[in-house]
Amino acid sequence: MTFRMPAEWAPHDWTWIGFPTNPAEWPGAFDGARQQIAAFANALHCGGKGEQVRLVVAHEEDAKAARAMVDASVRIVVANLGDVWLRDTAPIAVLNGEGARALVDFGFNGWGGKYQMPGDEDIGARLAATTGLPTSTQHWVFEGGAIDTDGTGLFVTTEQCLLNPNRNPDLDRGKIETLLAGSLGLSDMLWLGDGLMNDHTDGHVDNLARFVAPGMLALPIATTQDDPNATVYADARTRAQAHGVEVVDIPSPGLVLVDGAPIPASYMNFYVGNAAVIVPIYGQPNDQAALDAFRPFFPGREIVGLRSDAILSGGGSFHCCSQQMPSL
Per-residue confidence (pLDDT) for residue 170, from 0 to 100? 97
Q: Residues of the chain whose pLDDT is less than 70?
A: 1
Of 68, 214, 79, 90, nearest in space to 148 by CA: 214
pLDDT of residue 304: 98
pTM, full prediction:
0.97
Active site residue 320: yes
Report all structural domains of the chain as residue ranges with CATH numbers, in order of start.
12-326 (3.75.10.10)
Q: Find all residues with CB under 8 Å of 259, minimum gap 6, and list them.
A: none
Q: Are 82 and 103 in contact (CB under 8 A)?
A: no
Euclidean distance between CA atoms 184 and 181, whole angstroms = 6
Residue type at 103 in one-letter notation: L
CA–CA distance, 204 with 167 (Å, rounded to integer): 13
- Angstrom CA distances, 266 to 43, 184, 251, 312, stand at 19, 26, 10, 10
Report which DSSP code applies to 231. Answer: H
CA dist 325 and 328 (Å) reads 9
Burial (0-12, 13-18, 19+ Cβ within 10 Å), 314: buried
What is the CA angle 242-246-249, rounded to 5?
Answer: 110
Q: What is the pLDDT of residue 259?
A: 86
Catalytic residue among 46, 161, 320, 321: 320
Q: How far apart are CA 313 and CA 35, in angstroms?
A: 13
CB atoms near residue 49 (< 10 Å): 12
pLDDT tens-digit map of 119-166 = 999 999 999 999 999 999 999 999 999 999 999 999 999 999 999 999
- For residues 20 and 10, what is the distance between their CA atoms, to the nearest angstrom? 27
Phi/psi of residue 76, nearest 5 degrees:
-95, 125
